[in-house]
Chains A and B, each alone.
Chain A
């Protein structure tokens, strides 16, 4: 199985700052990588797929980069609504696997 590692389980930042969340795959997954956001009381939301393609409705301050084994989700100029949990997921092969999540909190 492809193991997905999000090395930071917790990240604190202030509104207006930029942050990066990393995700590492245990083997090359090309660009078959998605990012999700979860906020309390809300459904999971797909933010980015194919490593860097913004899902419809995702604000342009979000961006994704990387291919192979190393990926990054960057949020420029944090807004209050950006705080929550972020997960990466590989879909290069089954079983589909997720990272352990990074909680982004307000500093």
Chain B
């Protein structure tokens, strides 16, 4: 059974940093592109980052480019999101998601972890 379990969320002040982790199990992690998707309170979904199987290629929307860094450790079946220079508008539930093989859709999602950026 595919499982994605996020951790590392919490309350952080504006301008500070936070690192999220996602522990994957139930599939060969190194074979799949992985991603982070977020959802602000009472808002829709926003794609945050994608990383290739080896980690050599990463993709971001303009809203987080230069501030967020996605990475992975295939030996540990783990995905990470380093978030720097956090803003109040980054407050959201962050989901770890697996890209479907050969596609950019998301075929498995974690339950999400809440990040609150506030002074």
Asked if A46 is at the interface (CB within 8 A of a chain B CB), the reply is yes
Q: Which of A18-26, A66-74, A75-83, A88-96 interfaces with chain B?
A: A88-96
Does B111 make an interface contact (CB < 8 A)?
Answer: yes
Number of interface residues of B (CB under 8 A): 22
Question: Chain B contacts of A91 at CB under 8 A?
Answer: 103-105
A34 at the interface (CB under 8 A from B): yes
Chain A, interface residues (CB within 8 Å), range: 20 to 34
- A-B CB contact pairs (8 Å), 12 listed: A1-B61, A43-B95, A43-B108, A43-B112, A44-B106, A44-B109, A45-B109, A94-B104, A95-B61, A95-B62, A98-B44, A101-B45
Given A44-B95, A46-B107: 12 more A-B contacts, CB < 8 Å: A36-B106, A43-B4, A43-B108, A43-B112, A44-B109, A46-B106, A89-B45, A91-B104, A94-B50, A94-B61, A94-B104, A97-B47
